[in-house]
Structure 1
Amino acid sequence: MIKVLSSAWALLLGMMLLQVGNGMQGTLLGIRGEIEGFSTMEMSLVMSGYFVGFLFGSRMAPDMIRRVGHVRVFAALGSLISAVMILYPVLTDPIAWGLLRILIGFCFSGVYVTAESWLNEAADNENRGKALSLYMIMQMVGIVSAQYLLILGEPSGFVLFIVPSVLVSIAFAPILLSVSPTPAFDTTKPLTLRQLFGVSPLGCVGMFLLGGVFAAQFGMAPVYGAEAGLSVAQISTFVSFFFISALFVQYPVGWLSDRLDRRLMILVGAFIIGLGALIGIFLGNIFVMLCVAAALIGGMSNPLYSLLIAYTNDFLEHGDMAAAAGGLIFINGLGAVMGPLAVGWIMGQVGPWGFFMFIAVLGFATSGYAAYRMTQRPSRSIEDQDPYVVVMPSASPVAVEIAQEWAIEEAQAEEDEAEEAARAAS
């Protein structure tokens, strides 16, 4: 662990600060949009823009890096992110905000691709798993911390937009001054969607529906809080519970998934998401229960992402895992683009509680489809399952490929040890 921190502390610190900026602007826009009088549908279009940009960015960033290099891409995208965050309060128009969200989603995707390739370069086979874990923990800490910085100023003013811009600008300094400028870089071409669906229908359907859940909690939760009449402090706390719970639930779910039928884990996890949404619908007027609902939804949706990737890997050769992960990320991105639009429409029809209604439908639909798939294919033996690897929904295809490679190396090392033990015993 010390070795990882000594070699990648600047990158980890910088990415945490970036996530503080990203987390602040996402929540702040939901609150400011209500102040500016934007309709729910207008805010859903604004929030959807981030995921549109992120989807295109994850596809285009590798080509940009190959053409001009890591440092130039990283610095250019970082400058754009900082500039966009200041422009929000100047261009208070939903169309302008939507375009800015597309741009900032594109930039963050490119930044993640670049940073994660640097992280891979800083780690070796012995500590790559620890490096990834630290990277994801620091990202989550940044998002959670961002929610509590919103009490530093009034959402109707400029200060809360300036703070994340400054943090983002500061974040790039230690990274660019300390990392190697030319790490090895390569990405795997994903499997076609037809091939991927043939391998794992549950993985594909689950990832698409889960994309909608993520988009709702990351993009529309502040909009829900503003329309429900919550204070800024309450909205910050509510949003933070989606991410705090994920920190504590991710690893226990992973431990269980290596010992139980993963379809059962997916079924139960998705059902808990639906149950959390029902609590939000019927008991959301009690703030404590609102936080419980957020904890259940966020606590299960984050590990469910890793679980669906691990389940799909169980039906693949090691050489195809990275390609499949890239396809699953793309499917998840499609669901994320549609999520805010659907939530915005439903909230426009039934009111704020439509936010939880949408999540409940997706959670129970995923659980029901997992139950159906359990009748269509025999379960894999626990011994044949590949290791569960923790991956955040905000990770780029690069991080997922790194995680897959690490998992493959670990699995092969365990197989070699087992063979050596068997030979020694004979």
Structure 2
Amino acid sequence: MMRKTLTSVWPLFFGLGIIGVCIGAQGSLLGIRAELEGFDIRVTGLLMSAYYVGFLLGSLRAPKILQRVGHIRAFAALTALASITILVHSLIIDPWTWGLMRLLTGFAVSAIYVVAESWLNQAANNRSRGQLLSIYMVTMLAGLSSGQFLLKLADPASFELFTLISVLISLAAIPILITATPMPSFEAARPVSIKALYHLAPTGLIGSFLINTCYAMVLGMGAVYASKLGMQVDEISLFMAVLVVGGMLLQWPLGKLSDRMDRRSVICAAAFAALLFALVSGQTGFAADNRHLLLALLFGGCCFPLLALYLALTNDELTSDQAVGASSTLLLVGGIGATLGPFMISLTMERWGAPGFFWCLAAMSALMAGHAFYRRLIDPLPAAGEPSSFQMQAPSPVGSGLMKSPPSEN
């Protein structure tokens, strides 16, 4: 049964893998190019934040777009938009233009995720859904990490990399657009209010804000940090890839551990470890013996899996009829955090230089560890219901909580 399901959705995984490669390459490429063009660090932070503004807007507007034009045409239009915007970056070197293009890219990518996850939701049944979504998340994480190595293929100061990314985005759409697999219809969920969700699952809500802020800081400004340390392009690509791979390697072990004990304890311990690795990384900088890569691997491994743990913790506290609406509220709160992240860390780097990158991440890790520890103290009992099963999550997930089980669309 699982083999049959994978056969039906392989075009989607192929396309998403390539899109993940493009997202990973594009973020780092623009960070490096902004440094080469002499953009002010605060301007670069705002540019990177614009992507997450678009990402948030796209996730909120995508349901209406899909209801109006359908999945196939929406996917075609969105991939075309993402392909065009990356080319404009190479044609017009201007912060205002780049900011608008980043916003449009974020809008397109988030809506593409909504299409993809609704397709997976329709293809899976209750026995295969967890496995299918885990494969989806691994595909996206593998794409994000491997995309960093595209930077080694050409000079970031030229137009070739921008063109290559545009071509790959277009390529990603071809198998999906010619598949005969029926697309699902889409029904938007009514969100749970932020106030109501805070009363139901305070750790999950606050944690989703903090961890999405960290994700955006790393993916948006990590390449800028590495460039300011004097790393060459191949060293920057390896540094960024190692951060993401660390999160991919430790997601499953930390998730399974959280299924066997209070998730807040696991979150507190992992966030505290991330705090320590961030502090040491800030002191180490760029080390000739590659200690900075080991520290990046360990920081990513301790920090990035926390998103999935926060989502699982939230689901532990909810009934089945609350879960769909609550997921869209978590998306909203996480999107706000992601929007603030790159600009926040740019201010820190302006004040304390390149080490400010990891100082800021250390502060965010301290907030996550401290909040989880506080909630564990004042509410020592675990969730009353059965723990929800752990599922791997990619950075800035979107869409999985926005749809109900839909019928097929012609």
Instruction: Name the TM-score, length of structure 2 as normaliser.
Output: 0.94
Could you tell me how far apart the structure 2 residues matched to 1:128 and 1:369 are?
32
Task: Write the letter of the residue equivalent to 1:240.
Answer: A
TM-score of the two chains, using structure 1 as the length reference: 0.91
Deviation string for 1:297-339 (max 9, x for gaps)?
A: 3212332111111112222212212221221121111111111
Question: Aligned equivalents of 1:383 and 1:210: distance in 2?
Answer: 25
Q: Distance in 2 between the 1:173 and 1:81 partners?
A: 14
**Could you say what secondary structure the match of 1:187 adopts?**
coil
Residue 305 in structure 1 maps to residue 299 in structure 2: no
Find out whether 1:232 has 2:233 as its counterpart. Answer: yes
- The 5-angstrom pairing of residues 233-312 of structure 1 reads 233-286=234-287, 288-312=290-314
- 1:75 pairs with 2:70: no
Higher RCO (CA 8 Å, separation ≥ 6 residues): 2
Query: Number of paired residues?
Result: 403
Deviation of residue 391 (structure 1)? 2.5
Q: Percent same amino acid among aligned pairs?
A: 39
- Amino acid in the other structure paired with 1:176: L
Please state how far the C-alpha of 1:179 moved relative to its aligned partner: 4.7
Secondary structure class of the residue paired with 1:88: helix
- One-letter code of the match for 2:233? V
Match of 2:47 in 1: 46
1:351-384, CA deviations, whole angstroms, 9 ceiling, x for partnerless residues? Answer: 0111101100010111011111112113216973
Letter aligned with residue 391 of structure 2 = V
Tell me, in whole angstroms, the C-alpha distance in 1 between the residues paired with 2:312 and 2:216. 22
TM-fit CA distance, 1:385: 2.3
Contact 2:79 2:108 in 1 (8 A): yes
Q: Output the CA distance in 2 between the equivalents of 1:401 and 1:388.
A: 19
Which one of the candidate residues 355, 359, 362 is aligned to 2:361?
359
How big is the shift at 1:212? 1.5
Q: Which residue of 2 aligns with 1:415?
A: none
Equivalent position amino acid for 2:381 in 1: S
CA contact 1:4–1:130 (8 Å) conserved in 2: no
Answer with 1 or 2: which has the greater Rg: 1
CA contact (8 A) 2:303 2:365 kept: no
Match of 1:189 in 2: 190
- Higher deviation after alignment, 167-176 or 243-252: 243-252
Runs of 4+ with deviation above 4 angstroms: none
Alignment CA distance shift 1:94-1:341 (3 Å): same
8 Å CA contact 1:391, 1:400 repeated in 2: no
1:11-410 counterparts in 2 under 5 A?
Answer: 11-286=12-287, 288-380=290-382, 384-397=386-399, 399-400=400-401
Alpha-carbon distance, 1:295 to partner: 1.5
Residue 408 of structure 2: aligned partner:
none
Structure 2: give runs of 5+ residues left out of the alignment: 406-410
User: Match for 1:189: what amino acid?
Assistant: R
Letter in 1 for 2:147: A
CA contact (8 A) 1:261 1:382 kept: no
Amino acid at match of 1:243: V
Aligned-partner Cα distance in 2 for 1:103–1:85: 10
Please, which runs of 5 or more residues in structure 1 have no aligned partner?
A: 406-426
Conserved? CA contact 2:277–2:299, under 8 Å:
yes
Report how far residue 187 of structure 1 moved.
3.0
